[in-house]
C-alpha cells in the first residue's frame, strides 16, 4: 500500500509488518519485516483460516478475504489519500493514516487485533493513553492516534482486543501519524468513508492512464500503479523500493537501503510510465532533478538523492535488528551516493528526449543541466567508474557505462535545438563517434564470442543487453546477436538471467531485457514464452522484488522493486511493437 509519501507492507496473515513515517525513508513504526521485536499490527481471525487477497481494481487498496469454519470476513487496508484528491493531485498531501476495515460476509467470525508499534526501527516502546474509541502514543518525534469502536486494552506497549463480526456488519480502524507537538487534528473521517475516498482517488489516477492498449494490459497497468506508489508525489522523486535491507542472499550481508531516488531508476521509471500512458509526471521530475542537483559544474553528477533532494545519504548499520531471516547487517543510508556512475548521464538524456513533447520548452535550469551532462559525457566517457551494479571495489571501464555515455551524446545532439546557446552538437558528434568506435573495438571479446562487461575482459555481463534497447546496435547485428545468445546460454538459470557468472540469483530487469532483445532479434515466440514464465514469478499481488532464487522461486532483495516493474512494462511494450509492427505512439 502507498499514499505516495510512504508505504506499508501487509502479510497474507493480516499483519502490517512494515510502515515508515512520514516518508519512505523515515524510521519504521512497524518493522517486524526486519526483526520480530520491531513492531507490527495484527488484524486477523482468531481461529484457523484460509486467506485470499488482491488489490481493489485500479488501486493500491488491499482486500483480503478470510474464511473460517464459522464464516467469512473481508479486511480492506489502505494508506489514506488526502480527502477529495483526484487525478494527478493524489499524494501531494497525505494524512499519513493507515485505514483498516473489517466487513462480515458470511456467518460470524471472531477476530483478534494487536497494535504493537515500535518507534525508530524498534528502539522505543510506546506508552498508550486513552480509552474506548480513541488512543494515542507519543514517543520522541512520532505521535500516533488510533480511533476505533473496538474495546482495546493497553499492555506493555501494545493495544490488544478481540471482537466478533457478523454478516453485513462493519468495524473500522484509523491509525494516524502527527508531529507530536502539533494539534493532531482530531479523529479524521470514518475509516469506511476514507477508504472509499481513497479508492476513488486511485481510480481517478488510473482513469487518466488507460491509453496503453498493447500486450499484457493488466500487468502493465498494475506495474504502473506500483511505480506511482513508489513516487514521492510532493517532489516527483521515485524510490528504488519501499524497503531497506531485504537480502540478495538469505543470511548474507548484501543488504542495502533502497528508499532513495536513483537518477537511473527515476529516468527509467519515467520511460516506463510513458509506455504505460502516464506521461504527466515528466515536468515534476525535471523540476525535482534540477533542484536536487543544483549547479553541476565540473564535478561528477551525484547518482542518487533523498526524496526531497537530500545529498548526504551516509550509510550506517542498525546492529540491534536481527535482519530479515537473520540477514545482517541492517543498513540505513546508502554509500553508493559517493560513487561515479557514468551511465546515469545517458539515462537522464534518454528520458529528456523520449519525453520532450511533455517537457519542452525546457526551463533554463533544465537546459543548463542537460548541456552540462552532455559535456560531462564528452569529457569523462573514458574514465573508469563503479558501473550500474554499483561495484564497491576497483573502478573499471564498464561497457554499459560507455554505451550510456554514447546515448547521452546521441540524445543531446537530437535535442540540440531545444538546449539553448550553450549546445555544442558538433563537439558532441565527434565524441559520440569516438565512444562508438572504442566500444566496438575494446568491448568485444573473441574468446567469449560476445561483448564483455568491461573493456579488456572476457566475462559476460547482462548489462550489455541494453545495447540494442538504446539504439547503439541493432539486435540482429551479428556480434550483438552472438552476445544475446551468449547471455541466454551462459547466464540463465531457468527463465532468469544472472547479472554475471556466479551471481547469487536471477536479476529480474535483466531477464526482462533479454525478452526485449529476443523480440528485437526476431525471436518473438521465444520472447513471449520467456515473458510469460517471468510473470509467474511475481507474488499473488503481481509484485516483484529485485531478484529471484532460481532454485526455490523465492523473491530476494528489496520490495517492491521499481527496476523490476520498469522491466516488465518495457518488455510488454516491446512484444507489442514486435508483434504488431506498431510504433509506441500507436500503442498508446
What is the SS3 assignment for 506-542?
A: EEHHHHHHHHHHHHHCCCHHHHHHHHHHHHCCCCCCC
Between 293 and 331, the more confident residue is 331
Distances (CA, A) of 588 to 33, 120, 288, 557: 39, 44, 26, 32
Helix H or strand E segment including 357 = helix 356-359
Question: 119: which 3 cell numbers?
Answer: 518507534
Least confident of 57-71, 176-190, 324-338, 349-363: 176-190
Least confident of 186-195, 374-383, 527-536: 186-195
Least confident of 239-243, 570-574, 577-581: 577-581
Question: Is 511 within a domain?
Answer: yes
**520 pLDDT higher than 90:** yes
- Categorize the per-residue pLDDT at 185 as very low, low, confident or very high, splitting at 50, 70 and 90: low
Residues 518, 383, single domain; the answer is yes
Residues 150, 214, single domain; the answer is no
Question: Is 405 within a domain?
Answer: yes
Query: Can you tell me whether residue 359 is helix, strand or coil?
Result: helix
Instruction: Indicate the pairing of strand 444-445 with strand 158-166.
Output: unpaired
Look at the alpha carbons of 274, 279, 285, 290 in this order and tell me if their dihedral is positive or negative. Answer: positive
Question: Is 456 within a domain?
Answer: yes
Question: Is 202 within a domain?
Answer: no
- Alpha helix ranges (H) inside 416-558: 425-442, 466-469, 478-490, 508-520, 524-535
Residues 521, 431, single domain; the answer is yes
**37 pLDDT higher than 50:** yes
pLDDT value of position 187: 62
Question: Is 319 within a domain?
Answer: no
pLDDT value of position 511: 98
**277 pLDDT higher than 80:** no
pLDDT value of position 188: 63
DSSP summary character for residue 263: H
pLDDT value of position 585: 44
Question: Is 189 within a domain?
Answer: no
Mean pLDDT of 348-360: 89
Residues 129, 238, single domain; the answer is no
Percent helix, strand and coil across the chain, each to the nearest 5:
35, 25, 40
**158 pLDDT higher than 90:** yes
Between 507 and 393, the more confident residue is 507
Instruction: Indicate the pairing of strand 128-131 with strand 134-139.
Output: antiparallel
Q: Say if residues 232 and 556 touch (Cβ distance below 8 Å).
A: no
**297 pLDDT higher than 80:** no
Distance CA 222, CA 560 (A): 12
**141 pLDDT higher than 70:** yes
Q: How deeply is 155 buried, as exposed, middle or buried, from its count of CB atoms within 10 A (0-12, 13-18, 19+)?
A: exposed
Distance CA 206, CA 203 (A): 5
The size of the chain, in residues, is 588
Residue ranges making up the domain that contains 545 = 209-309+329-587
pLDDT value of position 144: 95
Distances (CA, A) of 166 to 43, 110, 255: 16, 9, 44
% the chain with pLDDT above 70: 96
Instruction: Give the chain's mean pLDDT.
Output: 93
**108 pLDDT higher than 70:** yes
Q: pLDDT digit string (tens) for 454-496?
A: 999 999 999 999 999 999 999 999 999 999 999 999 999 999 9
Mean pLDDT of 306-310: 95
Residues 297, 434, single domain; the answer is yes
- Residue that the C-alpha cell 488510533 belongs to: 146
Residues 522, 481, single domain; the answer is yes
pLDDT value of position 105: 98
Least confident of 199-203, 261-265, 498-502: 261-265
Between 240 and 295, the more confident residue is 240
Least confident of 68-82, 254-268, 271-285: 271-285
Tell me how many domains the chain contains. Answer: 2
- Categorize the per-residue pLDDT at 268 as very low, low, confident or very high, splitting at 50, 70 and 90: confident
**Among 126, 149, 184, residue at a domain's last position:** 184
% the chain with pLDDT above 90: 83
Residues 171, 216, single domain; the answer is no
Least confident of 103-117, 199-213, 563-577: 199-213
pLDDT value of position 36: 97
Mean pLDDT of 440-446: 98
Say how many Å lie between the first and final Cα of the chain, rounded.
27
- Whether the predicted model's global pTM rises above the 0.75 cut: yes
Query: Can you tell me whether residue 77 is helix, strand or coil?
Result: strand
Residues 179, 214, single domain; the answer is no
Q: Could you tell me the CATH number of the domain that includes residue 519?
A: 1.50.10.10
Q: Say if residues 255 and 248 touch (Cβ distance below 8 Å).
A: yes
Question: 229: which 3 cell numbers?
Answer: 506508489
Distance CA 175, CA 111 (A): 18
Residues 466, 342, single domain; the answer is yes
Between 298 and 99, the more confident residue is 99
Distance CA 346, CA 367 (A): 15
Between 585 and 219, the more confident residue is 219
Residues 258, 391, single domain; the answer is yes
Residues 167, 218, single domain; the answer is no
DSSP string, 127-193: -EEEETTEEEEEETTEEEEEE-SS--EEETTEEEEEEEEETT-EEEEEEEEE-TTS----S-S-HHH
Distance CA 360, CA 416 (A): 12
DSSP string, 180-193: TTS----S-S-HHH
Q: How deeply is 12 buried, as exposed, middle or buried, from its count of CB atoms within 10 A (0-12, 13-18, 19+)?
A: middle
**588 pLDDT higher than 60:** no
Q: Which residues of 33-54 are buried (b: 16+ CB within 10 A; e: fewer)?
A: bbbeebbbbbbbbeeebebebe
Residues 504, 578, single domain; the answer is yes
Question: Is 322 within a domain?
Answer: no
- Categorize the per-residue pLDDT at 584 as very low, low, confident or very high, splitting at 50, 70 and 90: very low
pLDDT value of position 581: 63
Instruction: Output phi, psi for 90, to 5 deg.
Output: -65, 135
Question: Is 243 within a domain?
Answer: yes
Amino acid at each position: 500500500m502507498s499514499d505516495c509519501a510512504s508505504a506499508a507492507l501487509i502479510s497474507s496473515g493480516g499483519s502490517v509488518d512494515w510502515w515508515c513515517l512520514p516518508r519512505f525513508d523515515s524510521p519504521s513504526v512497524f518493522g517486524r519485516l526486519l526483526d520480530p521485536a520491531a513492531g507490527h499490527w495484527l488484524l486477523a481471525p482468531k481461529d484457523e483460516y484460509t486467506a485470499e487477497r488482491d488489490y481493489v481494481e485500479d488501486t493500491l487498496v488491499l482486500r483480503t478475504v478470510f474464511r473460517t469454519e464459522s464464516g467469512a470476513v473481508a479486511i480492506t487496508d489502505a494508506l489514506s489519500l488526502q480527502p477529495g484528491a483526484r487525478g494527478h493531485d493524489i499524494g501531494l498531501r497525505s494524512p499519513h493514516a493507515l485505514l483498516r476495515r473489517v466487513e462480515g460476509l458470511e456467518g460470524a467470525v471472531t477476530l483478534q487485533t494487536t497494535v504493537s508499534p515500535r518507534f525508530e526501527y524498534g528502539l522505543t516502546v510506546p506508552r498508550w493513553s486513552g480509552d474506548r474509541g480513541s488512543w494515542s502514543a507519543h514517543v520522541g518525534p512520532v505521535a500516533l492516534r488510533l480511533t476505533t469502536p473496538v474495546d482495546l486494552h493497553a499492555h506493555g506497549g501494545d493495544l490488544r482486543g478481540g471482537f466478533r463480526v457478523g454478516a453485513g456488519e462493519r468495524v473500522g480502524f484509523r491509525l494516524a501519524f502527527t508531529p507530536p507537538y502539533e494539534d493532531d487534528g482530531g479523529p479524521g473521517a470514518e475509516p469506511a468513508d476514507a477508504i472509499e475516498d481513497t479508492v476513488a482517488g486511485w481510480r481517478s489516477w488510473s482513469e487518466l492512464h488507460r491509453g496503453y492498449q498493447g500486450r499484457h494490459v493488466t500487468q502493465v497497468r498494475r506495474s504502473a500503479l506500483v511505480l506511482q506508489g513508489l513516487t514521492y508525489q510532493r517532489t516527483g522523486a521515485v524510490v528504488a523500493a519501499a524497503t531497506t535491507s531485504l537480502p540478495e542472499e538469505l543470511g548474507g550481508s548484501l543488504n542495502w537501503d533502497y528508499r532513495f531516488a536513483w537518477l537511473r531508476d527515476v529516468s527509467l521509471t519515467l520511460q516506463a510510465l510513458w509506455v504505460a500512458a502516464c506521461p504527466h509526471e515528466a515536468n515534476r521530475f525535471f523540476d525535482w532533478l534540477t533542484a536536487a542537483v543544483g549547479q553541476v559544474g565540473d564535478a561528477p553528477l551525484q547518482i542518487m538523492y533523498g526524496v526531497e533532494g537530500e545529498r548526504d545519504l551516509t550509510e550506517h548499520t542498525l546492529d540491534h535488528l536481527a535482519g530479515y531471516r537473520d540477514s545482517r547487517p541492517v543498513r540505513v543510508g546508502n554509500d553508493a551516493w559517493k560513487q561515479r556512475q557514468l551511465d546515469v548521464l545517458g539515462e537522464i538524456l534518454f528520458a529528456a528526449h523520449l519525453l520532450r513533447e511533455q517537457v519542452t520548452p525546457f526551463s533554463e535550469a533544465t537546459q543548463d543541466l542537460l548541456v552540462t551532462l552532455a559535456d560531462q559525457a564528452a569529457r569523462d566517457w573514458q574514465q573508469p567508474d563503479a558501473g550500474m551494479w554499483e561495484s564497491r571495489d576497483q573502478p573499471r571501464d564498464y561497457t554499459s557505462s560507455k554505451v550510456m555515455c554514447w546515448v547521452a551524446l546521441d540524445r543531446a545532439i537530437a535535442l540540440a535545438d531545444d538546449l539553448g546557446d550553450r549546445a555544442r552538437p558538433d563537439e558532441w558528434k565527434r565524441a559520440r563517434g569516438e565512444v562508438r568506435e572504442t566500444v566496438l573495438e575494446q568491448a568485444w571479446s573473441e574468446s567469449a564470442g560476445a561483448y564483455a562487461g568491461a573493456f579488456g575482459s572476457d566475462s559476460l555481463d547482462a548489462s550489455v543487453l541494453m545495447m540494442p534497447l538504446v539504439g547503439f546496435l541493432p539486435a540482429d547485428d551479428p556480434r550483438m546477436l552472438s552476445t544475446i545468445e551468449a547471455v541466454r546460454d551462459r547466464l540463465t538459470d531457468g527463465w532468469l538471467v544472472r547479472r554475471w557468472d556466479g551471481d547469487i540469483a536471477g536479476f529480474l530487469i535483466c531477464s526482462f531485457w533479454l525478452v526485449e532483445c529476443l523480440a528485437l532479434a526476431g525471436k518473438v515466440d521465444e520472447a513471449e514464452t520467456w515473458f510469460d514464465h517471468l510473470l509467474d514469478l511475481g507474488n499473488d499481488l503481481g509484485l516483484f522484488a529485485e531478484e529471484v532464487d532460481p532454485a526455490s522461486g523465492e523473491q530476494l532483495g528489496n520490495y517492491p522493486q521499481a527496476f523490476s516493474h520498469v522491466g516488465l512494462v518495457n518488455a510488454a511494450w516491446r512484444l507489442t511493437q514486435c508483434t504488431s509492427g506498431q510504433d509506441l505512439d500507436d500503442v498508446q
